[in-house]
Structure 1
Amino acid sequence: MNTIIDFMKRNYKIILAVVLLSATLFAFRNNSTQSVNSEKDKMLLELLTFVIEKGHYSPAAIDDTFSKGIYKDYIQALDPSKRFFLQSDIDEFSKFETQLDNQLLNKDLTFFNLTYNRLIKRMEEGKNLYKDILSTPFDYTIEETFNTDYEKEPYAKNIGELKEKWRKQLKLSTLSSLTDRLKIQENKEKGIVDKDAKSSSDVLKSAEFNDDLNYSKNDKSSDGKPKTYEELEKITRESSLKSLNEYFGFMKELTRDDWFSIYVNSITARFDPHTNYFPPEEKERFDVSISGKFEGIGARLQKKNDFTEITELISGGPAWRGKQLEAGDVIMKVAQGNGEPLDIVGMRLDDVVKKIKGPKGSEVRLTVKKVDGSIKTISIIRDIVEIEETYAKSSVVERNGVKYGVIYLPKFYIDFENADGRDAGKDIAAEVESLKKAGVNGIVLDVRDDGGGSLSTVVDIAGLFIEQGPIVQIKSADRKKEVLYDRDKKIEWNGPLVIMVNSFSASASEILAAAIQDYKRGIILGSKQTYGKGTVQNVIDLNKFVRSSSTGDLGALKTTTQKFYRINGGSTQLEGVSSDIVMPDKYAYLKMGERDGDSAMPWDKIDPAPYTTWKNNANFDKAIAESKKRIAQNPQFKLIEENAKWIDQRSKENVYSLKMDEFKKNQSAIEETNKKFKAITDYDYHLKFTSLPQENEAMKKDASLKEKRERWHESLSKDIYVEEALNVLDDLQDEPVIKKSVPPVAMKKQKLVKS
């Protein structure tokens, strides 16, 4: 949910004040006899406290209430399932519950050191517990239950109780997997293949240790006969053991700095949910996410035990172009140019990534074990890698003789380092221009699940659809108001427009939707309201405040420095943007918005900015009314609403039987209900979506891009929300669209849905 603003342009006074004041506070050398890590941690706490207090829009009081919030968030982050700490640990920790504000101001690490050392000890003990528990079969005939509502469950009083927690948690996980194995084997014996069947693990809320559900390889005896119950039970425990070994292997890779970052972010989160500390590696990942590009070879990696495996080659990247690497290859060694190869087996994944990434034009040599078992050394010249999924894309669809365009924007990306680099504003303008050339009569701009990005790109995008005028209002920490305008009189698109949103459309997405709504330029269609993030963050490099580099890279701080407001004066904070046309949403009843957090900033209102609403919208109110009628009468939307209520009900059911017969009975009931809702995913309104000409040419050379676009086009043809957006575009046309009869296949599908 990150909205990053061009802070050098808008907040230079605040940042300059922080930099100047920090020169006297932090320009010191480390003369302490304590460890470098400890000094770095203390320096980090001092820096964060100072920068937040001076630069945050509305810094919280650092008092006992603040301290209690840190304590709660941090302990929960360390042990969310209460499977490590004992009640005696919590009793010891709780003495610090109201002291963390003072420890922060005094740069005291006592509480962190205590909890960190205790956690490491308890995790080592946990390894022995799960190995012992999984060494013998579970008895699934006993009447017992397990509650997965960990927040309300007490901590174990002693190691015996803790082992019992582990036993029940692991029993639930293995019971879920074993039930699936037995069912798959039973269906195979009957010759039944149900690709769409929900597994127990799909319908079971996470017990955290479900093993990989890959049952095809090991579920037959060496003679080809089905395995016995005892054999399947043993395989299930072995799979669970393997998953846990991998989990603890990952946890072991976490350093003290990683855990300290969790503590620091428990502090920053008390100011507001979007003030975060970025350790160096996380800052780099954030930069990649906001720009959509990085320098390297273009391969996604994952850790498997001690090995680093390639999971995907990024289309267009150097590794993809070289055609020597493939998914499944295991990287054994890494060499820089002609340097000596370094064995990376057992190395942390983050450290492996650092070795492989590097500046454009440099060489890296990878020694890999190929999928076929051969060992090969592959030379790759690093380059700029663009993550295609980050960028805007568009599609064309024709129905009833009318063409429409759909643009999907996953985030409001920008390259802060390169003014000529890609940004969402320029890319959306290009997509709109291409759609105009394709002869579309209306555009759907889809910002569902778009968590935000650069504010400057929002202004550019909104400006494509209006003549000129204010787009958003901003108030900074000094409470001075600034209005950001579109000053370009050119209107790139003056035809019918629909903006699609959902409850995960946040920040920059909400600014765009709010501006379009206030101008009455287009219709907002989607969830009841958007996420409700009405604040602006700046990313501040903490290394700029320190003369000495002996502590290493300190990372960065993303802190809230501004609030933004609609041009009508209302804030989007907490309330979000209410859709003109509210569509049933299967997550409608779950609490996942900004308003559901406990440290969110409040809603407020300022004076409106002067603006003139769009005049060419004679069919605006009629289109909204017609859509509401369709939605109310549509059996598919009624089913989605029913599904939403069922999901909400299921989210409150946390107690599971650990007796196999009872578990199977309960899961069967859930699966039967799921069959009813299967019509939601099966829905298809049978329209053909196609790419624009330039993309069609690119797809001829790029099979990966072709596959991704075909999947997207297929998903569009099954998306009832997109279908209704197209219906709204029909209703917005100056001339009524003559609807053709429903194709026989689609009619058949509709009848199935109604039943």
Structure 2
Amino acid sequence: MPALRHELCTFGLMLAILRIPFMKRNLKYTIPALILVAGAAFGFRYVQSANTEKESLVMRLVAEALQGVHYQPRAIDDSFSEDVFNAYLELLDGEKRFVYQSDFDRLAKHKLKLDDYFTSGDLSFFEESSSLWKQRRIEARRRYTRILAKPVDLTKARSLETEAEKRAYPKDSAAMDAFWADYLTSRVLDRLYDRAYEKKDSINPAFLPGHPDFAANESEARSKELEIHNEWFDGLDELDRTDDFSYYINAYAAAFDPHTQYFPPQQQEAFEIEMTGQLEGIGAQLQQDGEFVTIASIVTGSACWRQGELEVGDKLLKVAQGDAQPEDVVGMRVNKVVTKVRGKKGTEVRLTVRKKDGTEKVIPIVRDIVEMEATFARSAMLGNNIGYIRLPKFYVDFFDESNRDCSEDVRTELRALKAAGARGIIFDLRGNGGGSLPAAVGIAGHFIDKGPVVQVKTQGQRVRSYDDPTPGVEWDGPLVVLVDESTASASEIVAAALQDYGRAIIVGTTQTFGKGTVQNMMDFDRAAGPFYAKYQPLGAFKLTIQKYYRVNGGTTQLDGVRSDVVIPDAFQHVAYGERELDFALAADKIPAAAYKPVAENSKRAQAVAASQARVNTNREFTRINDYSNYLREQEKNTGLPLKWDDFVADRRASEEAIKRFDREGARTDTTVATMVTPGKPEKAEEDRRWLRAVRRDPSIVESMRLLTDLQ
């Protein structure tokens, strides 16, 4: 490939050009909103190609970008090579359903060579592994077809280890057959149980083994599994070399950090679901996770966000159009599931989902467009003259005609609450995943007189601080900031700054999400220009370019913002947040900025201690804590019984335990709440529901008591 090698020699010049946008004088243009939707700024027409020269070029482009522009380049050595090898095998077959131990051993000869392949553009490991993956996929289709042709054994006492990390790769074909037989038995059992105990409150099943209907239902369950698996494998067969290559190259990217990612030159429909305002739907982003389609994110202000029951991480099991018969979607590709979830405004879709605790729930959602107004700051006056402000996300200029800015909206709500006689403020950032950095700096400035709010560091450059843009304070009284583990990015900047200045008491989960990095998108076509025109389209690359720090020199990366008063959360023991992601950048410190904390309220220490004591003995929080401990114990029980009687006993026990902890509907009003800023008449019912939720929220009520103690 002499021509390619000649062109690669010019990449050093191109890389120098790429660095220009990241220089300090242009820094204001490179700090994006801290929440990025992968691929949203670009789209490419799919061009099928087996052009190995092009793939080699992309490998070199990615390698050079990672080493030259990434915030924290790592050595391209044997350690890196081993990490890439393991990450790639995890991407290909993380559930250990296709690859044998002998396959793993055969590929292991490349384990310490991938660093050399990366910098040279050598595709030998990719070619070998891709060929093997296709071969094992064909075998798996034959295997499940054969197994599902006969009744599964529900009489033998045994269990399936559902946690792949606890299983070894099957050693041979017989071991793989045994695994698939148990796996498919678990799937059939699940369907049979749902049919037998369709009326969940009933202790009497519709049929049992030996009943005439049992054999017929078992046969139908196998037929459905065959249909679902055929659809799943049809989707896998539709993957082409471009898809395989993107998996491969992203194993290299992931070894730098979890937010760095290569996007191949193809349409992104399977990755970014077009239900975010332009289309009428539920307003959720879906993603493929093995055989399941899961909820990747929920659009603030959307139909499902307003409905309130759908959560990130939920697995879609069935989709029904209103009262129609639900359709099983396990095994379907994400693009097909989207067509079933999406629909006209005003129509209802019912999603059967599996929650994090393993329970199943039917969630009815009336399709609608995204209502941006639902994302705007809103306030209420609570009991004891405590003001409450809810900010779902950081926004700037959502509507050109109205020029909405969350910083200005929060200022308006603060002034309204002050005029209404507020003596303390609760600022609720729970579930706020971030947004505009300038808006975050502006909002923090409402509570401090002047000074830096956040520090930002770019590789090879001096640290830059972003200061409160407006002298003076909108609110200098007692302040609580409510957070949870979904409070991330720009929200963490605000919470951290107010904590460092001593302006707020942080109340919520032990810590926030912990994302302290900034990414930017690099379009390889635009960056390369005429140098590589004959190889275009080349795709795009999202990579981490900056890290931000608190004014005290600490970072929210991994550490998040730790609460002063810790409120239990049902999923507090479930792995979540930046710290759970592989290869997340480490937490570190830089020198503190020049800032001056405010004088501490003399009642603060006593009020915080009293609040934590109340939380520790509160019946509602105790219930939540007990439930989280129950879920932690359940996570350890990864074996699934495959004998009918054992399976039923295990499932019924879990359902009964969940019922004991489920008291959400039993909550009653524990404070008053009234709107301060009048809402629109057509939104009166929505405002009423919002106020009802505020009145019944135990975290808000405890924050009220804490603020009362500070007065």
Aligned residue in 2 for 1:83: 97
Residues 274 and 558, structure 1, Cα contact 8 Å, conserved in 2: yes
Point out the more displaced range, 466-475 or 665-674: 665-674
Alpha-carbon distance between aligned partners in 2 of 1:556 and 1:711, rounded to the nearest angstrom = 43
Aligned residue in 1 for 2:170: 156
Aligned residue in 1 for 2:631: 647
Aligned residue in 2 for 1:28: none
Task: Indicate whether 1:404 and 2:418 are aligned.
Answer: no
Distance 1:284 1:228, change over 3 A: closer
Alpha-carbon distance between aligned partners in 1 of 2:257 and 2:650, rounded to the nearest angstrom = 41
Task: Indicate whether 1:477 and 2:459 are aligned.
Answer: yes
Aligned residue in 1 for 2:521: 539
Task: Indicate whether 1:613 and 2:597 are aligned.
Answer: yes
Alpha-carbon distance between aligned partners in 2 of 1:636 and 1:474, rounded to the nearest angstrom = 40
User: How far 1:239 moved relative to its partner?
Assistant: 3.4
Aligned residue in 2 for 1:697: 681
User: How far 1:111 moved relative to its partner?
Assistant: 1.8
Distance 1:568 1:316, change over 3 A: closer
User: How far 1:316 moved relative to its partner?
Assistant: 9.9
Aligned residue in 2 for 1:172: 186
Q: In the alignment, which of 429, 448, 452 is matched to residue 466 of structure 1?
A: 448
SS at match of 2:519: strand
Task: Indicate whether 1:240 and 2:216 are aligned.
Answer: no
Task: Indicate whether 1:267 and 2:282 are aligned.
Answer: no
Aligned residue in 2 for 1:321: none
Q: Would you say how many aligned residue pairs link Structure 1 and Structure 2?
A: 614
Aligned residue in 1 for 2:483: 501
Point out the more displaced range, 43-52 or 668-677: 668-677
Aligned residue in 2 for 1:574: 558
SS at match of 1:406: strand
Aligned residue in 1 for 2:704: 726
Q: Residues 80-479 of structure 1 correspond to what in structure 2 (within 5 A)? A: 80-184=94-198, 228-279=213-264, 328=321, 388=372, 391-396=375-380, 398-399=382-383, 402=385, 404-409=387-392, 411-413=393-395, 424-432=406-414, 440-479=422-461
Aligned residue in 2 for 1:381: none
Residues 532 and 593, structure 1, Cα contact 8 Å, conserved in 2: yes
Q: Alpha-carbon deviations, 1:550-609, whole Å to 9, x = none?
A: 444434322222222211122223322211111222333333343344423233222212
Distance 1:649 1:573, change over 3 A: same
Alpha-carbon distance between aligned partners in 1 of 2:399 and 2:113, rounded to the nearest angstrom = 42
Q: Alpha-carbon deviations, 1:703-745, whole Å to 9, x = none?
A: xxx56x666555444432233223323334x3xxxxxxxxxxx
Q: Percent identity?
A: 35
Alpha-carbon distance between aligned partners in 2 of 1:474 and 1:677, rounded to the nearest angstrom = 44
Distance 1:45 1:688, change over 3 A: farther
Alpha-carbon distance between aligned partners in 1 of 2:333 and 2:616, rounded to the nearest angstrom = 54
Q: Residues 580-729 of structure 1 correspond to what in structure 2 (within 5 A)? A: 580-615=564-599, 617-679=601-663, 682-687=666-671, 695-699=679-683, 712-729=690-707
Distance 1:609 1:419, change over 3 A: farther
Alpha-carbon distance between aligned partners in 2 of 1:688 and 1:121, rounded to the nearest angstrom = 65
Point out the more displaced range, 44-53 or 549-558: 549-558
Question: Residue type of the partner of 2:468?
Answer: D
Q: Alpha-carbon deviations, 1:380-411, whole Å to 9, x = none?
A: xxxxx7564983443525335x35323132x4
Residues 413 and 677, structure 2, Cα contact 8 Å, conserved in 1: no
Aligned residue in 1 for 2:492: 510
User: How far 1:545 moved relative to its partner?
Assistant: 1.7
Residues 379 and 388, structure 2, Cα contact 8 Å, conserved in 1: yes
SS at match of 1:568: coil
Alpha-carbon distance between aligned partners in 2 of 1:448 and 1:227, rounded to the nearest angstrom = 52
Alpha-carbon distance between aligned partners in 2 of 1:314 and 1:600, rounded to the nearest angstrom = 26
Point out the more displaced range, 173-182 or 243-252: 243-252
Alpha-carbon distance between aligned partners in 2 of 1:280 and 1:692, rounded to the nearest angstrom = 50
SS at match of 1:515: helix
TM-score (norm 1): 0.71
User: How far 1:628 moved relative to its partner?
Assistant: 1.1
Alpha-carbon distance between aligned partners in 1 of 2:129 and 2:582, rounded to the nearest angstrom = 24
Distance 1:714 1:367, change over 3 A: closer
SS at match of 2:166: coil
Point out the more displaced range, 86-95 or 434-443: 434-443
Q: Alpha-carbon deviations, 1:404-459, whole Å to 9, x = none?
A: 323132x4455799899655445544554565566655433333343333322221
Gaps of 5+ in 2: 1-19, 31-47, 292-297, 304-319, 323-331, 349-368
User: How far 1:280 moved relative to its partner?
Assistant: 5.6
SS at match of 1:151: helix
User: How far 1:274 moved relative to its partner?
Assistant: 2.3
Point out the more displaced range, 415-424 or 267-276: 415-424
Residues 684 and 719, structure 1, Cα contact 8 Å, conserved in 2: no
Alpha-carbon distance between aligned partners in 2 of 1:43 and 1:352, rounded to the nearest angstrom = 35
Residues 299 and 314, structure 1, Cα contact 8 Å, conserved in 2: no
Residues 639 and 680, structure 1, Cα contact 8 Å, conserved in 2: no
Distance 1:695 1:258, change over 3 A: farther
Alpha-carbon distance between aligned partners in 1 of 2:88 and 2:397, rounded to the nearest angstrom = 34
SS at match of 1:396: strand
Alpha-carbon distance between aligned partners in 2 of 1:482 and 1:392, rounded to the nearest angstrom = 30
User: How far 1:245 moved relative to its partner?
Assistant: 3.5
Gaps of 5+ in 1: 1-6, 18-33, 193-218, 221-225, 306-311, 318-326, 330-346, 358-365, 372-384, 701-705, 735-755
Question: Residue type of the partner of 1:445?
Answer: F
Point out the more displaced range, 46-55 or 491-500: 491-500
Point out the more displaced range, 660-669 or 674-683: 674-683
Alpha-carbon distance between aligned partners in 1 of 2:399 and 2:540, rounded to the nearest angstrom = 16
Residues 396 and 403, structure 2, Cα contact 8 Å, conserved in 1: yes
Distance 1:421 1:152, change over 3 A: farther
User: How far 1:58 moved relative to its partner?
Assistant: 1.7
Question: Residue type of the partner of 1:258?
Answer: D
Question: Residue type of the partner of 1:275?
Answer: T
SS at match of 1:443: strand
